[in-house]
Chains A and B, each alone.
Chain A
Amino acid sequence: DVKVTQSSRYLVKRTGEKVFLECVQDMDHENMFWYRQDPGLGLRLIYFSYDVKMKEKGDIPEGYSVSREKKERFSLILESASTNQTSMYLCASSLAGRNNQPQHFGDGTRLSIL
């Protein structure tokens, strides 16, 4: 079974802090994704990566950056946290090469910015 592990289930930070959300997958997947989920808005893609050291912007990249130094790890960084970044953050991974592969998700990090 694919295992996608997000480092924290719940996190509380203050406005202006730099926040790191970590995600690790154990299935040697090339693709990794970061989403945020908000009520009534579904899942919105923040950033994704198809390989080590590469990244692509998703639909809502503003205020975020990412890092992928190793294949199994994909980090989401909130450069200067703001209250409108309070959300559920979901990491996912999938096999590369073809589009008919499901993404496998971690359990999410519920982030609150005070």
Chain B
Amino acid sequence: DQQVKQNSPSLSVQEGRISILNCDYTNSMFDYFLWYKKYPAEGPTFLISISSIKDKNEDGRFTVFLNKSAKHLSLHIVPSQPGDSAVYFCAASAVRSQGNLIFGKGTKLSVKP
């Protein structure tokens, strides 16, 4: 059973607009959430994270929102740029998991000029 779900396999957005990538989780023991970005033929790159004690974390054009009651997090990219086109993975870590991450299956973002 998937503990971390990214229900949209793909998303297409116009350059300059907002991209919103969504992620749902089922395990209430998760307390740390991350987003990774992956280009083809490269390894995933850590993008941004959020602890469960917060509901928002911002880093430049990237903002992650956490709604614990809904077990939902989202990544907002504003404004979207063609270079943001990649696969985005959501991941979560549980208390006392010693750093193991559970990954979603990814969402492929295409930003069109």
Q: Could you list which residues of chain A lie within 8 angstroms of chain B, going by C-beta atoms? A: 4, 9, 31, 33, 40-43, 45, 48, 50, 90, 92, 94-96, 98-108, 110
* Smallest CB gap from B2: residue in A: A42
* Chain B residues, CB < 8 A from A108: 41-43
Q: Are A99 and B43 in contact (CB under 8 A)?
A: no
- How distant is B6 from chain A, measured CB to nearest CB, in Å? 8
* Chain A residues, CB < 8 A from B32: 99-100
Q: How large is the interface on B (under 10, 10 to 19, 20 to 34, 35 or more residues)?
A: 20 to 34
26 A-B residue pairs with CB within 8 Å:
A33-B100, A40-B9, A40-B105, A42-B104, A48-B100, A90-B44, A92-B43, A96-B98, A98-B99, A99-B31, A99-B95, A99-B96, A100-B32, A100-B49, A100-B93, A101-B99, A102-B49, A103-B99, A103-B101, A104-B46, A105-B44, A105-B45, A107-B41, A108-B41, A108-B43, A110-B41
- How distant is B73 from chain A, measured CB to nearest CB, in Å? 15
Question: How many Å lie between the Cα of A100 and that of B68 in the bound state?
Answer: 17
Question: How many Å lie between the Cα of A26 and that of B49 in the bound state?
Answer: 23
